[in-house]
Structure 1
Amino acid sequence: MQRGELNDLLAFAAVARERSFTRAAAGLGMSPSALSHAMRALEARLGVRLLARTTRSVAPTEAGEQLFRSLAPALAKIEDGLAALAEWRETPAGTVRITTIAHAAQMVLEPKLPAFLLANPDVQVEVNIENGLTDIVADGFDAGIRFGETIEKDMIAVRVGPDLRTLVVGTPEYFKRHPKPRTPADLHRHACIGYRLKTAGGLLPWEFERGGREIKVRTRGPLVVNEMPLALAAVRAGAGLGYLLEHDVADDIASGRLVQVLDAWCPAFPGYHLYHPSRRQTPPALRALIDALKTG
C-alpha cells in the first residue's frame, strides 16, 4: 500500500466519524476543500462511492460504513501502539477526545479542566457536548462523562462528581393557585414543564422512588423543551412545575423563590462518571486527565 493511500484511508475514517468535512479537516490539519478532493480521488481509485454528500452534511454510504467498520480495529491497534510508546515520555502528551452533556461540562470540566491544561501543555483536550447518548468506540472518542446509571457495564467508570438528586419545584405563587402534590400520582393534575430527549425523541418521564417502590410519571403541561435552561426559566416564572437537578435550583429554594415538593420521593442517584473502553493500556494523557477529574 502506498503511503498516500494510507493517509487517504485515515482521512476517510475521520470524515466517517465526524460526519463533517469541516470538523474532520480541522482535526487533520487541512482545508475542507482539500479533504473533499482527497475523498473524491479515493472513491475514484476504489471505484466505489463511499460518502453521500449534501449541501449541509456528509455521511458514509453502505459501502462506506462497511469500510469504516473494517478500518476501526486497525486504527484502534495503531492508537494502542502509540499509547504504549507514549509511556516512555516523561510527561503526558497527545489528544484526548471526550463526549459529554452541557450540565456535566459545567459541573465537572469547568472547575478543573483549565488547571489541567496549564499543568499539561503537551495535552490537547477536545470536548464534544451533546445531550444524546454516544457510542464512544464507534464515534472515535477516548472517553465520555455521563450519569453513572447510564454507563454500559463493559466500560471502565471513574466517579468525577458527587451523587445528585432531581427535585420537583414550583414557585410560591404557583402553589397559591394549585394544591401541593402529596404523591407522584397527583402530578397528573398539575402543569408540568416537560423535557424531550434529543436522541430518542420521547418525553423524559419523571422518576421517583420510595421504600423500594419505583414510579415513572408521564407528565403533561404547557411547555416541552430539549434544553434545561428554558425549562428553569418557565418554572421560575410560575408557568408550571419543574423536574430539575438540585444543583440548579438550590439557590432558588434557599431564597424562597422556589418551593420543593415530593421530597421523600426523590432519592439521590449516582452522579457523573468518566468512562472509557477497557484497554490493556490507558493512554497517559487520558490517565492524567482522569487523575485530575476524579473525586475522592
Structure 2
Amino acid sequence: MGRQDTFDGLSEFLAIAKRQSIRKAALDLEVTPGAISQALQRLERRLGAPLFHRTTRRISLTEAGETLLAKIAPAARLIETSLEETLQSSDEPSGTLKLIVERLALPHVIEPILPAFCEAWPNVKVDITVSNKHDDFIAGGYDAGILIGSYIAKEMIAVRLSPPFKWAVFGSPDYFRKYGRPRVPGDLAGHQCIRYRRPGKGDIYRWEFLEDGQSVSIEPIGPLTVNDGKLMQNLASQGLGLIYSSTFHASGKIADGQLEPVLLDYSPGSDGLFLYFTKTAQNLPKVRAFIDACSQLRRLLAA
C-alpha cells in the first residue's frame, strides 16, 4: 500500500466549509460534485469521524468538523499566502484579490476606486464579499477587509479611509416639527425610535452616549424594528421615527436635508471606516496596490 497523502481531501473540506455546499465547492475547485464527495468520504474514513451534517437542503459542520476547520484554516491561509508571495516575486500585482467589505464601503470606497484600480492592474481579479460580519476573515481566505474601526480585531493592521465621524440620533425635519427634538438622552423615552436588529447576532443595537463623563446605553423603544441600515434611514427620512447612526452613514441624507442630527454633544466619540489586513498580506503586491488606491481616495475625502 502506497504512502497516504497527508493533504488528501483537505482542499475539498475547506471549500465545502466555506461554501456550505458540495456543488458550490465543486465550482470553486473546478471539479465535479462527485469528485468532491469522494474526497470528503476518504478524509472522513481516515479521521474516523463525520465532518458534516448532511440533509437534502443544507450541509453544516459537525463538532469534529468545526475543530478541524479551526486548526487548519489559518495554516491553509498561510500556505496560500506563501505561494502567492512566491508567484508574485516581481512587483507586478497579479492573482485574485479577495475582499470582505461592509455595505457602507460600497458607495464611499469600492465604487469610486474600483474602475481605476481594475484599469491600472488588469492582471488582478477582484472577488468582493459584502457583509457586516467579518468573524471568518482568516478562514474565508480574505486578503483585506473594510470595516468600522471599533469592530476590527486588534492584531490586524488598519488604514483609515474616512474622516472621523460621530454617532448621533437622526430624525426628519417633519418628525422634529411634530414631536420636538430630544435635548438629552433621557428624552428619548418620549419618542418613537426605529430599532436595529444586528444581522448575524440577532440582538437589538443599543444607543450609546457619553453624559457627564459617564457611558450611557439605551435600548430604543418603538414599533419598528429592521435589520438593514439603508431601510432604517429611509424610514426615518419619511418621519416614522428616530434612528441612531453615524454622521458618515447618514451623510447623504443629511446633505439632501432628509435627516438632521441631534444629541451630537453626547456622542460617545469618533470612529471611522478602515481598510484592514494581516501583517503577512500587506507584503503582497496586489494588496499593496489596493492599499495605495485606498490611500489616494482617503486624501480626496479629507480634502
Fold equivalence (TM over 0.5): yes
Q: Distance in 2 between matches of 1:134 and 1:223?
A: 28
**TM superposition shift of 1:268:** 5.6
1:190 matched residue in structure 2: 191
Mind listing any 5+ residue stretches in structure 2 that lack a counterpart? none
1:156-202 C-alpha deviation (Å, 9 max, x unpaired): 11122222233322223322331311001111110001101112221
Scaled by the length of structure 2, the TM-score of the pair is 0.85
Q: What secondary structure does 1:221 align onto? A: coil
1:24 matched residue in structure 2: 25
> Aligned ranges for residues 214-293 of structure 1 at < 5 Å?
214-266=215-267, 269-279=270-280, 282-293=283-294
**TM superposition shift of 1:36:** 3.4
Q: What secondary structure does 1:209 align onto? A: strand
Contact (CA 8 Å) 1:205, 1:218: kept in 2 or not?
yes
Contact (CA 8 Å) 2:132, 2:147: kept in 1 or not?
no
> Aligned ranges for residues 125-140 of structure 1 at < 5 Å?
125-140=126-141
2:65 equivalent to 1:64: yes
Contact (CA 8 Å) 2:8, 2:39: kept in 1 or not?
no
Contact (CA 8 Å) 2:282, 2:288: kept in 1 or not?
no
> Aligned ranges for residues 38-53 of structure 1 at < 5 Å?
38-44=39-45, 47-53=48-54
**Residue type of the alignment partner of 2:233:** L
CA 1:242 to 1:56, structure 2 compared with 1: closer, same or farther past 3 Å?
Answer: same
Calculate the aligned-residue CA RMSD, in Å: 2.6
Q: Distance in 2 between matches of 1:115 and 1:143?
A: 18
Q: Distance in 2 between matches of 1:127 and 1:32?
A: 24
**Which segment drifts farther, 162-171 or 91-100?**
162-171
Q: Distance in 1 between matches of 2:269 and 2:32?
A: 48
**% identity of equivalent residues:** 39
CA 1:66 to 1:258, structure 2 compared with 1: closer, same or farther past 3 Å?
Answer: closer
**TM superposition shift of 1:24:** 2.7
**Which segment drifts farther, 254-263 or 268-277?**
254-263
CA 1:152 to 1:2, structure 2 compared with 1: closer, same or farther past 3 Å?
Answer: same
Mind listing any 5+ residue stretches in structure 1 that lack a counterpart? none
**TM superposition shift of 1:2:** 5.8
Q: Distance in 2 between matches of 1:280 and 1:165?
A: 30
Q: Distance in 2 between matches of 1:116 and 1:133?
A: 24
1:112 matched residue in structure 2: 113
Contact (CA 8 Å) 1:168, 1:241: kept in 2 or not?
yes
Contact (CA 8 Å) 1:143, 1:274: kept in 2 or not?
yes
Q: Distance in 2 between matches of 1:248 and 1:178?
A: 24
Q: Distance in 1 between matches of 2:75 and 2:60?
A: 21
CA 1:209 to 1:83, structure 2 compared with 1: closer, same or farther past 3 Å?
Answer: same
